[in-house]
Amino acid sequence: EDPDARIERLRLGGLEKRLPQCIIIGVRKCGTRALLEFLDLHPNIKIADMEMHYFNKDENYENGYEWYRKYMPFSQTSDITIEKTPRYFISESAPERIFKFNSSIKLIVIFRHPTTRVISDYTQVYENKLERNKTFEPFEDIVINKRTGRVNTGYKAVRISMYYYHLTQWLLYFRRHQIHIVNGDNLIVNPLEEIKRVETFLGLEHLVTDKNVYFNETRGFYCMNSGNNQHCLGAQKGRKHPDIDPLVIRKLNNFYRPYNRKLFSMIGRKFDWDD
């Protein structure tokens, strides 16, 4: 060990910036921020605040692991460092690069009803455009191809919800037991249940309790209580979704059904996504 680094480590009482032993790889709009912040309530979990886009963006990846490490939080040897970048899930390069980085890493992926996820994705992009005074087509016009009347797979948000297809790319490298799947629909209504499962997956004591989470009536969501600090996620999480033509919802549900079925048999677990 470099003497300067050793002195620095001792000075900080064993605290060091460590590369992540666990990565939340996605999926965008499924509750990735809520999951990360709930996990942060655990005394042995240290989170990287920023979405690093290290394994998906060439210009970041080329900076090397030491660059990546600089953005990690300080931790003790008994801690687990977690980074989340939802973009990894759909990235072509991330699975292989993460495997090369640490082939025994623990991965977490959070899913949510695929149609709800598309609506959430649309709502976010729509609101960002409104802020910039740009016009935007209604959901129904983007999601359905007017000419064929079928679901428009040219729309990226539609493709992201084809979970089976993307997860397949990860299972080319990682074993099933290395990937923990969080139920994003359940995380909204019962965060503790999902957090307990993650604690088990990470081999940590069950230390996040009902004292750490509370339901905030005005927000309509569970919020975090770390003892000295109570907080909810920002207004950009938990947006009101627009009303969507039920026929379009049905088309989307029908479109996703075969992908869902394949996903369930691949992961050996079912979600309540049938309409």
- Type of residue at 109: V
161 makes contact with ligand A3P (CB under 6 A): no
239 binds ligand A3P per the rule CB under 6 A:
yes
What is the rounded distance in angstroms from the CA atom of residue 94 to the CA atom of residue 227? Answer: 36
Site string for ligand A3P, 57-96 (x = CB under 6 A): -----------------------------x----------
Distances (CA, A) of 173 to 28, 50, 62, 70, 103: 21, 25, 21, 27, 8
Is 18 a binding residue for ligand A3P by CB under 6 A? The answer is no
Query: Which of 233, 253, 262, 264 is in the footprint of ligand A3P by CB under 6 A?
Result: 233
Q: Which of 22, 24, 29, 109 binds ligand A3P (CB under 6 A)?
A: 29
Residue 151 or residue 187: which is nearer to ligand A3P going by CB? 187
**Cα(127)–Cα(74) distance, integer angstroms:** 35
Q: Does 51 bind ligand A3P (CB under 6 A)?
A: no
- Binding residue (CB under 6 A) for ligand A3P from 28, 87, 166, 251: 28
Residues near ligand A3P, by CB under 6 A: 28-34, 86, 120, 123, 187-188, 221-222, 233, 237-239
